[in-house]
Chains A and B, each alone.
Chain A
Amino acid sequence: MAISTSIWIWIAALLTLSIYSFLYKDNPFYKFSEKILVGISIGYTVSIYFHNTIIAKVWNPLVHDHNFLVIVPLILGLLMFSRLFKGKAYLSRIPIAFVVGTGCGMSIPSSFENLFKQVQGTMPQVFTIGNIIILIGVLSTLIYFFFSVEHKGIIGKVTRVGITFIMIGFGAAFGATIMARISLFIGRIQFLLGDWLGIIS
């Protein structure tokens, strides 16, 4: 492989290096790149919403398919903009209540279902050391987060077990986090050494 001749790869590589320059110290290149990133990411999202939502979900059904039922959510959506008018800002509460209320209603039955499956998974079907560890671990962790009772006496001892399990859980998550962070750096190195400089295949 040879060094890239694509102007786009060069742009991406220079932007990558300008972000890494921050590791040495804060500098104008980093600041400039950071601001461009903010602008482009918002602009990208707006463009996608324009084509895939406004045109596909509102304009086309209304203008081409004459589906006038779309007017209801359109009005609800537009009411959000009442926040811009001081005296009428309260109107934006209606669409917010619509979204939040519906979301809560949708989530309650499914959350119960999820809860039951997790509880079911905790109940050992066969008594193995692993299954007993799961049962003790889940119960003691739950009791640790139960703050209505003072963590003293037998409860205190159980919460002690709980905190040990939590530490093992956090430790595992921390170990995995190290892995994740290095992977992200590896991704950039593969781009710089491979796609840009062509040193590695």
Chain B
Amino acid sequence: MFLKKQLPLLVAMFMGTMMIIQFFIPHPFSKNVYSTILDWLMIVTAFTLLIAVQSTVQMHITKIRRKVTDWQSSVIVLTALGITVFVGILGGAYAPTNILMKIFPNVQPGSDTPLMYLYIYFQTPMQATIFSLLAFYMASAAFRAFRARSFDATMLLITASIVTIGRVPIGQFFYANMPEVVEWILNYPSMAAQRGILIGVNLGMIATSLKIILGIERGYLGGGK
């Protein structure tokens, strides 16, 4: 029971309190401890990613085993993943490994790695293109849904239109000082609202952090006993 519930809460409380106290004590000893903990955190966080990868792989393996609808997609995902990991680990991240240079003598220490080729010519164009699809969806939404239904919606619509047209060079054709108008909106009324939201979010973050350190908020530990 202690190991399951109290110990994690104590660890969070101890580490949290220590990091707050450390902020106010710039003593060399405190700085050393702080630096060591930062080193440890880098390593521990790396494992959280590995867990995420493990669960994704597990999910696809299960799909293939159970032959669920569209299970062939999982085969493609796992094959692409497998090839990339193989090429990446064997060939190096940003500089070719010795093994790669031995197998392919024309590969020099300054050459691009196979992993970079996969990244730049496969992942980059596809990911960039998927996000650029949003330009089309938003255009469709602008035509169909962006209506001046109420005073608030009209305010939103007018500001959006001014910023849309004023942020690009063509805005100057309609009104020479358009860029200044847009800068004014972004610097004053828009910024005021953004700052109000920002202060609220900041207060929320502080409150949540305090609740975690004090053991009131326990959701991050997951459910169960």
Contacts and interface: CB of A to CB of B under 8 A. Distances in A.
Interface in B150-200: 152-153, 155-164, 167-168, 184-200
A191 B132 CA distance: 13
B103 interface: no
B68 interface: no
B135 A182 contact: yes
Interface residues of A, number: 114
B132 A187 contact: yes
A169 B197 contact: yes
B73 to A, nearest CB: 5
B89 interface: yes
Contacts of B39: 57, 73
Contacts of B202: 111, 114-115, 118
A55 to B, nearest CB: 9
Contacts of A121: 195
Given A46-B85, A179-B164, A72 B40 contact: yes
Contacts of A81: 47, 51, 54
Q: Which secondary structure dominates where chain A touches chain B?
A: helix
A112 B207 CA distance: 11
**A-B pairs, 7 with minimum CB distance:** A137-B192, A47-B88, A43-B84, A39-B80, A141-B196, A105-B19, A171-B159
B16 A115 contact: no
Contacts of A108: 16, 20, 206, 209-210, 213
Given A44-B118, A69-B36, A177-B138, A130 B187 contact: yes
A199 interface: no
Contact of B132 (A34, A106, A184): A184
A142 B85 CA distance: 48
Interface string B39-65: 111111111111101101000000000
A178 interface: yes
A19 interface: yes
B81 interface: yes
Given A101-B16, A134-B188, A184-B131, A58 B84 contact: no
A80 interface: yes
The contact size tier of chain B is: 35 or more
B192 A136 contact: yes
Q: Is the interface of B mostly helix, strand, loop or mixed?
A: helix
A13 B124 CA distance: 11
Contact of B221 (A96, A122, A135): A96
A45 interface: yes
A40 B79 CA distance: 9
Interface string A1-44: 00000001101110110011011000000011111111111111
Contacts of B117: 8
A53 interface: yes
Contacts of A169: 189-194, 197
A171 to B, nearest CB: 3
A159 B197 CA distance: 13
Contact of A171 (B22, B160, B205): B160
B196 A137 contact: yes
A133 interface: yes
B99 interface: no
B101 interface: no
Interface in A128-158: 130, 133-142, 144-145
Contacts of A49: 46, 49-50
A94 B8 contact: yes
B28 interface: no
Given A134-B191, A181-B135, A165 B81 contact: no
A107 B212 CA distance: 12
22 contacts: A15-B122, A15-B129, A16-B129, A20-B129, A43-B81, A46-B53, A50-B93, A57-B42, A80-B44, A80-B48, A100-B212, A101-B213, A104-B12, A108-B210, A118-B198, A119-B199, A134-B188, A168-B189, A171-B159, A174-B156, A178-B142, A179-B168
